[in-house]
Structure 1
Amino acid sequence: MAGNTTNRDVQIELHNLIDLVGRYGSIVDQLLSRTAIVSLPPESIACIDRRYVYTCVNSTFLSLYRKTGEEVIGHRVEEVLGERAFQEKEKPRIDRALRGEEGQYDDLIGPLGDGRLRVLARYSPLVGKSGSIEGVALSTWDISTIRDAEERALSARSDLDALIGGHVEKISDALLDLKREVKMREDVEAELRSGRDRLVKIFQAIPDPVSISTLEDGVFLDANEAFFRMTGYSREEVIGNSALNLGIWDSPLERARVVDLIRKQGSIRNQEAKLRSKSGESRVVLVSAELMDIDGIPSILFESRDITERKTLESELSRSQKMEAIGRLAGGITHDFNNLLTAIDGYCELALLKLGKPEQVRSNILKIKEVKDTASSLIRQLLAFSRKQKVKQQTLDINQVIENMQNLLKQFIGEDIELKTRLEQDIGSVYADQGHVEQIIMNLALNARDAMHKGGVLTISTERVHLGENDIAKHPGLNPGDYIKLEVSDTGVGMDEETMAHVFEPFFTTKEASKGTGLGLATVYGIVRNNGGSISLRSEPGKGSTFEVFLPVSGEVPEDVSRKTGKVPVRGGTEVVLVVEDNPYVLDFIIEVLGSIGYTLLKARSGKEAMDICESHSGHIDLVIADVVLPGMDGPAIVKNLLKRYPRMKVLYITGYPGDVVSLYGIPDTEKHLLQKPFSAFALTEKVREVLEEGSDRE
């Protein structure tokens, strides 16, 4: 009985053992099911288009096949894996996926290390925006350890079946096998934990801000380090709190709009939105999001790409493009405009010379000249945008420029505004065009004047400053170094943020149409940037405005920039001068001015007329004055033909076009035989004498 009892006890223990192993096998089967495996992120990823060409792969794929990106991307599958593997295995699988059938296969790939790798491969259709299948996504999971575990588990079950067949004495061996199986399960669980840890590290290492929050109330479940850096909040402040409570979205309506899209579509890609950091700083981001389930709770995976700097650069580019457009406009209209200004100014001068004393008429003519001067100033400001204005850069002492301008500034700003200067001594010099620096100061001063309707104080100050790495972040485009800071402040009405955002844009003005063109501050901005500097503005409504201009220190000794005054008496002559000009007003003005001081004049409105005059003119020609751009034959072509007939003839070109256009005709804008319109009668007579006397003994 004792023996039977012992045998029964053994059988009971055996059945218990079989039951335990069965339950364990069920657990292992569940753990190692394909669903559990593929719920993890794939280790290797590749995208293949309908031409069997790889369009994208990750680094693991390249490692598995010992390839580089250049050897795979853009190449067909058979070029990478071989013709046989393509025809026998890859092509049938890809074709099924292209028909919309998702396929999953156990596979051996490699070589990897000393052997081949067991993987689970899934071929999935890639559906485009139009709904058509555009390619195939190939995802693989390493199942080498799991398949080994399955095979050992089957072997263990076979051993247990043998025990049931009467080999009770082998129970101890089966128990050892069971122990090994338990150890194997622990290894699998450790591998799963390791995979989870890898995912956590990847999540934290993503450079863009990523967060997971609940769909309904936006409570944060997790976020990566980049998210905390961008928002300025700590993990403790974020996890368990909601985005709306923290004020991360610039507007609650913004989040509602984005969430509504995700709810309808399941995902979004690159939606522009505004987020706000803990410090209140606004950031522009591109949001991509995916609807997902976290432990039965509908949640959203957010990825945000910070494009604030890009938007700032786009804004700068837009502003530059506007200025370039104005520059092209300026280049197109200056010729006709300068012709008109030459005639207006010339006839005003002639009228004033002939008028004598009638003061009322004289006053009216002077008003016409003032209007002409204003128009000339407008042209110069337009040309400043396109850098087409002829400039003379030199080493300048800004303090001296300001001191020389003080009397003029006082006249312009009026008696009800007090002008103060605070000029730091020995600040060095800048390398710039004197006229440009004067334009900066004058435009900022006039802008300040217009902001002080009831009088006030205009303060102009200078100082030398050093901008380090931390400082230049506030001044885009500058490099670390020494700068001269020019500051122009007023006690006027000030500006709101909306006005400050547009104040440097061409044609933007808050003044009445008759009191402003909207080019003054835009001109200042263009000049400052063209000279390697930066300009910024501080202002509040009712508290005045302060403009800060930073220009790089030159380090050279400044030149004397005092303006020369006093006129030289007009010098005439008796030489024969041919004038070729298509604008009748300018032509008649030149003829009248030069004719009044003794010259013999011939005139033509085109190249053909000039050639006809030469045919009928029996004498010599001492000087030809030719417009550069003429209908039919241009100025240089006319001169070339005339020089064949009159080789000793002198040449003077006139033009209303900027220098870059003139240079297309082979005439440098620095040519001393070039007179730029609009010009005065005095400038014309002096230039004519200068050209005629060139190379002679006369002084």
Structure 2
Amino acid sequence: MTAQDVTTALPPPGDFSTVEALVRTLSGQASIGIFLSDPEGRTLYLNERLRRIAGLPVVPTPGECWRNALAPEDHDPICSEWSGATNAERSFSREFRFRRPDGSLRWVMAEAFPLRSGGGPSGGYVGIVRDITPRQLALDALHASEERYRTLAQQSPHAILVHADSAILFINEAGARLFGLATAHPIEGRPLWDFFPKEFLHDLPLAEAAPSPSVERQLVRPDGTVIDVELTAAPVMFDGHPAVQILGTDITERKVIAGQLHRAKKMATVATLAGGIAHEFNNCLTAIMGFSDLALPSLVPDSRVHGHIQQVVLASKRARDLVTQMLMVGRQADGAKQPLSLDILLKETLRVLKMKLPESISLREWIPGATNPVLADPSQIHELCLNL
């Protein structure tokens, strides 16, 4: 390896004419814009790249040439800041826009530094200008996308919450309602744990490429009400930074309905079991009623045993009606309606009721006479009378 001392080849300190020549030579092929100005900020030189960025003519007017290309909205504030920097002999750094002759806008990042000899006054400025239009367009597209996201999220009926580093970045109105948060006070920017217990949002599964599995959690709102919430989390970019989006759905009513459905299924099972028992019991009643009917003709009509057997027959008929009701519960039979005389049915009901009551209670009947027939299920009317 060989080395050569090139110190003598560099321009001596304070030789700004040589510096200008060096800058002109190096900047001719540079991929960024470069300019030189005098101590008052008037342009002495700009390279071809800056001329193309700003859309200046081939032979630009010296002095304020690059400032003449500023977008009208940026002209006054940028010129004011540039004058302030040159007057104070300090560096200048700013983003702004050039409006080119064809009407297009180019975003640039400009930086300028004073040229000094030792600790003396500024002998002018050297500046660089980078075209940041692609980056700015990407940022504008990102901001527009985020604005659309905010608009859609605010209109969503589902709760949407975005957070990063344990701080709330965004929550829509549906989320504030679901979680019981008062919107009268600022929510965004505050810590998550001001509103939620740590175990509520802790360790939610995140899926990079596909929706993450949902998790059911129970939340106690600030007003004390308890709700069941289904949460789904996913990574998102928000304001240009990674964040976590949480989608929340109130499933309290759904769980109540699911519980009711579960109980209904259990009742259906019980009804099926009751139907099976009713069929077996009906077989027993058939034997009781059959043998009672066979025994009655062989007994003295007014004897005590004859009356007992008649009560067995009546009780068996009532039991048969109860079996019919059990089959109706099990959806295995429909109640049959038939013409009934309520006075006769009421007398039979009172006779059964007297047998069930203790001796200390007496019943007195007062039935005016025959009533008009009605169309009804005898077992249901009998049960109704007993309940009364």
TM-score (norm. length: structure 1): 0.30
Which of these two proteins has the greater Rg computed from alpha carbons? Answer: 2
TM-score (norm. length: structure 2): 0.48
